[in-house]
A and B are shown apart, each in its own frame.
Chain A
Amino acid sequence: NAGVTQTPKFQVLKTGQSMTLQCAQDMNHNSMYWYRQDPGMGLRLIYYSASEGTTDKGEVPNGYNVSRLNKREFSLRLESAAPSQTSVYFCASGEGVYEKLFFGSGTQLSVL
């Protein structure tokens, strides 16, 4: 059972470069999420998708775009990376009326 799979595990970008973080889940969950984790700030929600074909902004959406490609896949794109986007990014999927989230192992991104 893979659960939630994120790629890549590590990435270094230069300011202004673009990249897409990939996420896939094999638990048939309707909802998927992208969080960023910074020291002392906990987990902050960037974007989420309640179901295939829908996406909504979370707490910190600026500088990011997302695509819910199908029920399994939810990607996060940085169009023009900035040093402030250096962080650890987690994808998650959720089940239940009161969502229990299942997280991937994260992508550590550094923007120089």
Chain B
Amino acid sequence: GQQLNQSPQSMFIQEGEDVSMNCTSSSIFNTWLWYKQDPGEGPVLLIALYKAGELTSNGRLTAQFGITRKDSFLNISASIPSDVGIYFCAGHSSGGSYIPTFGRGTSLIVHP
């Protein structure tokens, strides 16, 4: 089935640093979704993107729908300890199912 390549797999950063992660696909996507999973909880939707080039912010988080429609990026500015968790990208491929495809996640650890 469709696969999303999400990188990096894990990140260890100091509080206050900015974070960047991305997700790529070999095929065109119609939507990109970014989820965060807090430890011991289920994933929660952070940002949804629907148009190529779209740039959307949610507080300190900013996500972009790549111009090629084959990638998406998530940036976190001025990280804080509560940013710890696993970040998943997901999306719907062009001509594919209404069910989103998920990346394998980026595990973020923030040191105070």
Contacts and interface: CB of A to CB of B under 8 A. Distances in A.
Contacts of B9: 40
Secondary structure at chain A's binding surface: helix, strand, loop or mixed?
strand
Give the interface size bracket for B toward A: 20 to 34
Nearest to A58: B99
A92 B37 CA distance: 13
B2 to A, nearest CB: 11
Interface string A28-71: 00010100000011110100100000000001000000000000
Nearest to B4: A42
Contacts, number: 51
Interface string B36-72: 0000111111001010000000000000000000000
Interface stretch (A14-22, A78-86, A94-102): A94-102
Contacts of A103: 42-44
B88 A43 contact: yes
Contact of A90 (B1, B42, B104): B42
B92 A43 contact: no
Contacts of A41: 104
Interface of A: 4, 31, 33, 40-43, 45, 48, 59, 90, 92, 94, 97-106
